[in-house]
Amino acid sequence: MTITEAPETTAAPTSSKATKPSVLMCRPEYFTVSYRINPWMHPEDPTDTSLALKQWDVLYETYQNLGFDVQLIEGLPGLPDMVYAANGGFVVDGIAYGAKFHYPERGPEGPAYMDWFREHGFDVREPVETNEGEGDFLLVGDTILAASGFRSDTGSHQEIAAIYGREVVSLQLINPSYYHLDTALAVIDPTTIAYLPSAFDEPSLAILRERYPDAIIATEEDASILGLNSFSDGHNVVIAERASTFARDLADRGYNPIGVDLSELLLGGGGVKCCTLELRS
């Protein structure tokens, strides 16, 4: 389903240009896996918070070295998934649309992130509909790709369209392992995406194929380690270290893939993008 009509498709770029994004992150001070709300989580298996912190620090330093403006929100005790900052909201044009989480275990994260947005001067819009922020909303050029199926309700797609006055394209996720859009689709630059076909239903695939005929098609192997859960500045693309085919595909297109190891945070079902909320003023 699309809320507005599709624009003409654009060919893949022959060169890439980096920007200097502003992002919000949360240190995994309280990270653990104490409940199970996605297929990646196994509370019976031990997690290593100190290792999660070390791996997260590498991601943080990578962004700093790329010249990103990195803002931090303080994690709260009892909210082990707060490290996955992408789920805390969606920020475009200085407007922060807050998150309203599907599972009660994560519910308090929504108000915590909205408080941070208010304190830092964003125009905060409190959600009526259930949604999990940039986990299920991704900006590609001027268009918002919005997913439902596991975490965000379709009503949030209309809500976000009304807030931003932008085209919103609805997609349906069907594989529980890829329960957020940002686990199954990566935004590389304003006209280029990468995605895993098996994560989407057929109507959604038809939309993606029509709009992005030159998209990078991910392998099941790379997707299975959340290789698509990546963050790009338009040239440098920070990805899971083990996503080797995705790295080659990016390099072949003229992008600069940068691999990081977030294997401990993967135990909670998150990767690079999950830890990264873009702040677009």
pLDDT tens-place string over residues 160-209: 999 999 999 999 999 999 999 999 999 999 999 999 999 999 999 999 99
Tokens of 41: 């989580």
Tell me which amino acid residue 73 is. I
User: What pLDDT is recorded for position 43?
Assistant: 84
- Report yes or no: 129 and 117 within 8 Å, Cβ to Cβ: no
Query: What type of residue sits at position 54?
Result: K
| Helix, strand, coil shares, percent, the chain, to 5 | 30, 25, 45
Model pLDDT, residue 1: 44
* Domains defined along the chain, listed by start: 22-278 (3.75.10.10)
The structure tokens listed for 267 are 């135990």
Q: Which of 26, 157, 235, 274 is catalytic?
A: 274
**Per-residue confidence (pLDDT) for residue 4, from 0 to 100:** 37
Statement: residue 7 has pLDDT above 60: no
Neighbours of 248 (CB within 10 A): 11
Average pLDDT, the chain: 93
pLDDT band at residue 3 using 50, 70 and 90 as cut-offs: very low
CA-based end-to-end distance of the chain? 28
Tokens 């931090």 label which residue?
A: 72
Q: Considering only residues 4 and 84, tell me which one the structure prediction assigns the higher pLDDT.
A: 84
> Is there a catalytic annotation at residue 274?
yes
Please tell me the predicted confidence (pLDDT) of residue 15: 58
Calculate what percentage of the chain has a pLDDT beyond 70. Answer: 94
For residue 9, what are its two tokens?
Answer: 């498709």
**CA count, 13 A, side-chain hemisphere, 13:** 16
Residue 184 CB-half CA count within 13 A? 28
Catalytic residue among 26, 180, 235, 275: 180
- DSSP at 275: G
Instruction: Give the pLDDT mean for 213-238.
Output: 98
Q: What is the dihedral of CA 98, 188, 59, 67, to 10 degrees?
A: -90
Residue 158: which pLDDT band, with cuts at 50, 70 and 90? very high
8: confidence class by pLDDT, cuts 50, 70, 90 = very low
Q: What is the mean pLDDT of residues 36-58?
A: 88
What pLDDT was estimated at residue 46?
84
How would you class 155 by CB atoms within 10 Å of its CB: exposed for 0-12, middle for 13-18, buried for 19 or more? middle
